[in-house]
Structure 1
């Protein structure tokens, strides 16, 4: 193994920021929750 990351730190930060809002049915992802309710 080379020890190099196979992920872009900027992409990881971007999606980490979205992660806490993803499961909120009132967030900007509401349309996705409405299409595919849990």
Structure 2
């Protein structure tokens, strides 16, 4: 069996890890997403 090649870009992982801490904060720059969520 051949070794698998990672298909992940480490810079993309770092970018989304940095956003993760603010994503669920309803007062962060993602506030508009929280505001429209009840409409869905």
TM-score past 0.5 threshold: yes
Structure 1 length normalisation: TM-score?
A: 0.84
Structure 2 length normalisation: TM-score?
A: 0.80
Q: Which runs of 4+ in 1 moved over 3 A?
A: none
Question: Structure 1: which 5+ residue stretches go unaligned?
Answer: none
* Alignment coverage as a number of residue pairs: 37
CA RMSD of aligned residues (A): 1.3
The answer to which structure has the higher helix fraction is: 2
Whichever of the two has the greater Rg, that structure is: 2
